[in-house]
Each structure stands twice: as structure tokens, then as C-alpha cells.
């Protein structure tokens, strides 16, 4: 296959794959580095590089799960609280090998939509690199992220756009 055919096949195979379908096989650091590097190759006007990623693995990931469950529980009126949703938050995070927070940094050098578009292209590059490496992933943007400013060390000129969940596929 030539490069164009390989690229077309990867684009056609790209899908959101959810944590329930991830295996217990760890994503190697080499592949994780490749996924993150591909994000930095996304086009961005005036080279603002507006993406900020924080990697959660191991104990940090477990703490994130507990924090997000706690936020969900404390922000839901009792009549709207769903035990299933509460449990799903923890399950998805803990089942994923790696969770990456997706934050946009607004430089004020270009319109905000351009910075968000650049971050979205960076995430698409991660999706494609995951697909090429048989890694499942999906981008989730739960409302809970608005309550994670301290944990994610989000500054005034930044906004969390969600999380990319990643896991190996067998």
C-alpha cells in the first residue's frame, strides 16, 4: 500500500471506542509518546500551540476517578442523582489505561474559535495515531470538567474541553 492508501485506511477505521472494550494490556510509553507528539503537529495559527494535555495513569488516574465521582455526587440534586452514572464515571476512568485532559489555552493572538479548532485538530491527530497503533480512544466532555480547575491547574485564559480515554485493543 502507498502512503495515501494507508492514510485512507486509518481515517476509515477511526472510531470512538469506549473503555468497556479496552483490554488490560498497558499502552507502552513509546506509543503514548508517539500519540502525544502527533498532537503537537496539528496546524495552529500564529504558532500559539494552544493545547495543554495532562496525562493520568496509575494512582493519579484513580484519584481523578474518585474526584469526578465526588463532584458528580455533590453537584447533582438528590432527585437527579443516578447511582449508575456515578459508578460509570469511576468505571470508565479506571478501565482506561490512560486518560488525558484536553485544555485549550487562549493566547488572545487569534480568535478563540481558532484555538479551539487547533486543539480539536490535535485531538484528531491523537485519534488517528491511536487507530494506527490499535489503541481505542474516545473524547468525552462531561459537565463535571468545569469543577476541575484546581486539579487540572487551569488558568484564567484556559478551558478544559474534556478527556481523551485510551486503552489497548486485543
Task: Output the 3-class SS for the chain.
Answer: CCHHHHHHHHHHHCCCCCHHHCCCCCCCHHHHHHHHHHHCCCCCHHHCCCEEEEEECHHHHHHHHHHHHHHHHHHCCCCCCCHHHHHHHHHHHHHCCEEEEEEEECCCCCCHHHHHHHHHHHHHHHHHHHHHCCEEEEEECCHHHHHCCCCCCCCCCEEEEEEEEEEECC
Give the pLDDT band of residue 150 (cuts 50, 70, 90): confident
Res. 112 pLDDT band, cuts 50 70 90: very high
7-43 as b/e: b if 16+ CB within 10 A: eeeeeeeeeebbbeebeeeebeeebbebbbebbeebe
pLDDT at position 149 is 86
The per-residue pLDDT for 170 is 85
Distance of CA 56 to the CA centre of its chain: 10
**Tens digit of each residue's pLDDT (9 = 90 or more) over 54-100:** 999 999 999 999 999 999 999 999 999 999 999 999 999 999 999 99
Q: Looking at residue 60, what is its pLDDT?
A: 96
Single out the residue of 63, 49, 62 nearest to residue 125, CA to CA: 49
Can you name the residues that pair with 136 across neighbouring β-strands?
167
Question: What pLDDT, on a 0 to 100 scale, did the predictor assign at position 77?
Answer: 93
Residue 154: partners with Cβ closer than 8 Å, 6 or more residues away: 103, 148, 160
Length of the chain, in residues: 170
Q: What is the pTM of this model?
A: 0.95
- pLDDT at residue 121 tops 90: yes
CA distance 50 to 159: 11
What pLDDT does 128 receive? 98
What does the pLDDT average to over 20-33? 98
| pLDDT tens by residue, 77-90 | 999 999 999 999 99
Amino acid at each position: 500500500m502507498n502512503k495515501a492508501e494507508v492514510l485512507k485506511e486509518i481515517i476509515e477505521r477511526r472510531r470512538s471506542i469506549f473503555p468497556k472494550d479496552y483490554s488490560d494490556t498497558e499502552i507502552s510509553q513509546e506509543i503514548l509518546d508517539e500519540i502525544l507528539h502527533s498532537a503537537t503537529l496539528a496546524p495552529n495559527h500564529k504558532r500559539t500551540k494552544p493545547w495543554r494535555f495532562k496525562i493520568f495513569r496509575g494512582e493519579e488516574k484513580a484519584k481523578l476517578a474518585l474526584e469526578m465521582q465526588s463532584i458528580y455526587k455533590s453537584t447533582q440534586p438528590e432527585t437527579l442523582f443516578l447511582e449508575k452514572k456515578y459508578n460509570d464515571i469511576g468505571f470508565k476512568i479506571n478501565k482506561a489505561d490512560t486518560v488525558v485532559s484536553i485544555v485549550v489555552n487562549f493566547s488572545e493572538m487569534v480568535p478563540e474559535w481558532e484555538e479551539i479548532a487547533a486543539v480539536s485538530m490535535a485531538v484528531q491527530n491523537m485519534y488517528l495515531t491511536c487507530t494506527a497503533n490499535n489503541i481505542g480512544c474516545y473524547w468525552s466532555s462531561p459537565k463535571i470538567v468545569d469543577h476541575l480547575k484546581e486539579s487540572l491547574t487551569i488558568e484564567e485564559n484556559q478551558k478544559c474541553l474534556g478527556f481523551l480515554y485510551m486503552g489497548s485493543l486485543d
